[in-house]
Amino acid sequence: MVVYRSAIFTPLADPFPSTELEGTYRHLDDGYLVVDDRGSIAGVGPWDSLPDHHRDHPVVRLSPDRLISPGFVDAHLHGPQLEMIGSYGGHLLEWLNRYTFPTEMKFADPEYARNVSAGLFDELLRNGTLLTLVFSTSHTEATNVLFEEAERRGMRAIIGKAMMDRNAPAGLIESTEDSYRGTLELLKRWGHHEILRYAISPRFAPTATQKLLHLAGELRQEFPEAYVHTHVSENLSEVFWVKQLFPDAENYVDVYDQAGLLGERTILAHGVHLSDEELRTVAESKTRICHCPNSNLFLGSGLFPLKSVLRAGITVALGSDIGAGTTPSMLNAMADAYKVQQVQGISLSPFHLWYLATLGGARALSLGDTTGSIEEGKEADFIVLDLSATPLLRRRIASAGALEDMLAALIFIGDDRVVDRAFVRGREVYARG
Ligand code: GUN
Ligand code: ZN
């Protein structure tokens, strides 16, 4: 057992349904966090009410400019695209052909893949991301390497090999059968890990035949604990192309629905241009949508209609979508999510943003009972933020009045420098410097 004494902030409930924030978060100026030997949270509360039975444990007292928060959840990114961040010019389809596919072909070399994978998870931890949903390339061995590097660091990750059997260079597409077999092999290898999970990952409808999508749907039936991870309706040219490629489908979402790919463990990245009918299908099937604001701005994909998506009853997560997103920082994802709604007339509070980047993400990934907030009984996944990490942040925080001001300062001027330490299941997985 160990007791941390520190300021603590944690979301507790979804703040979106009403304007009433009370009860949706907890903030302790001087709090305790008890972590037991199994890495679970044995207690949390105000320091002056630390229960007697916890008083004999060693106490780690953090400095007054530290804040404990749940770790961040990045619900959509492409590991192999780490080294091509900021490849500018061109919208989605051109960007894929010009930069992405050539970069991803390099994952054929497992040594190269190991170097990038190690760099990826180091970057994520440096940014306080403790749970993430990751696209690999179509390379089975390189995907295995991604799993190994996540495992080595003790972080939570849901990873999947990109299933692709058409409309990409020969170095990335496989035969339908090989794509299925590689996925099956990885599912068997990683499908029952303590904290890692597998995501059946058809890249997106344009690079999959109907046959491959249906095989992915069969795998989902066979491995109900596995996730499904793909993209939908990110860009208008993509939507138009899907109409041409799947003339029998009602719409883009219907392509996945017909293949049996929708459900609570399915995460669709983007969903910027969904029709009302598609939103209904996504909601009825309990499928999740991951909003990636930085990427949507960088690729000029469009403005995510958060209000309509939430009104439809869909659970939303937040993602960096690196390498179309230009940073792994979930503080930045929150800042960009704010701006994307601002230009649509909606001002999200820091509480709403923090929820999306922590507990909301964990819930979207069906892990809300395990992680995403600092509550007794959950696993001790948390980060320690340094409120005086940079001169500007120190200055801004000094003038911050209310809690929301402090959170806003972190969101809008914070970056990886504010993440001091990170813990998964009570074990330190990152320490700055
Ligand atoms: N759609 C299909 N593949 C990709 C990708 O790699 N990045 C983004 N942003 N969208 C995609
Ligand atoms: Zn993506």
Q: Tell me the C-alpha distance between 91 and 324, whole Å.
A: 10
* Tokens 């497992």 belong to residue: 110
What pLDDT score does 328 carry?
98
Q: Is the pLDDT of residue 97 over 90?
A: yes
What ligand has the least distance to the C-alpha of 137?
1
Ligand 1 contact, 123 CB (< 6 A): no
Confidence of residue 18 (pLDDT cuts 50, 70, 90): confident
Task: For residue 430, report the distance from its CA to the centre of ligand 2, in Å.
Answer: 26
Q: What's the mean per-residue pLDDT of the chain? A: 98
Ligand 1 contact, 234 CB (< 6 A): yes
Q: Is the pLDDT of residue 31 over 90?
A: yes
Going by alpha carbons, the residue nearest to atom 11 of ligand 1 is 231
Which residues does residue 427 pair with via DSSP β-bridges, in sequence order?
424
What pLDDT score does 414 carry?
98
Task: For residue 321, report the distance from its CA to the centre of ligand 2, in Å.
Answer: 5
pLDDT digits (tens, 9 = 90+) for 377-405: 999 999 999 999 999 999 999 998 899 99
* % of the chain surpassing 70 pLDDT: 100
Task: For residue 78, report the distance from its CA to the centre of ligand 2, in Å.
Answer: 6
What pLDDT score does 352 carry?
98
> Range with the lowest mean pLDDT among 19-23, 33-37, 92-96, 388-392?
19-23
Q: DSSP letters along 62-75, please?
A: PPTTEEEEEPEEEE
Task: For residue 403, report the distance from its CA to the centre of ligand 1, in Å.
Answer: 36
Q: For residue 421, what are the contacts with CB-CB under 8 A and spacing of at least 6?
A: 383, 384, 428, 430, 431, 432
Going by alpha carbons, the residue nearest to atom 7 of ligand 1 is 324
Q: What is the mean pLDDT of residues 405-431?
A: 98
Q: What is the mean pLDDT of residues 340-359?
A: 98
Task: For residue 288, report the distance from its CA to the centre of ligand 2, in Å.
Answer: 14
User: Which atom, in ligand 1's list, is nearest to the CA of 81?
Assistant: 6
Ligand 1 contact, 203 CB (< 6 A): yes
What pLDDT score does 401 carry?
83
Confidence of residue 433 (pLDDT cuts 50, 70, 90): confident
Going by alpha carbons, the residue nearest to atom 5 of ligand 1 is 96
Q: What is the mean pLDDT of residues 270-287?
A: 98
Of 88, 96, 290, the one to substitute when testing ligand 1's pocket (max ligand atoms within 8 A of C-beta) is 96
Ligand 1 contact, 235 CB (< 6 A): no
Report long-range pairs for 353-357 (Cβ below 8 Å, ≥24 apart).
Answer: 353/407, 353/411, 354/9, 354/11, 354/25, 354/69, 354/407, 354/411, 355/11, 355/14, 355/15, 355/16, 355/24, 355/25, 356/291, 356/316, 356/317, 356/318, 357/72, 357/73, 357/318, 357/330, 357/331, 357/333
This model's pTM is above 0.95: yes
Q: Is the pLDDT of residue 19 over 90?
A: no
Task: For residue 196, report the distance from its CA to the centre of ligand 1, in Å.
Answer: 23
Task: For residue 76, report the distance from its CA to the centre of ligand 2, in Å.
Answer: 6
Token readout for 75 is 């619900």
pLDDT digits (tens, 9 = 90+) for 137-190: 999 999 999 999 999 999 999 999 999 999 999 999 999 999 999 999 999 999
What pLDDT score does 62 carry?
98
User: Which atom, in ligand 1's list, is nearest to the CA of 231?
Assistant: 1
Ligand 1 contact, 324 CB (< 6 A): yes
What pLDDT score does 101 carry?
98
Ligand 1 contact, 292 CB (< 6 A): no
Q: What is the mean pLDDT of residues 245-259?
A: 98
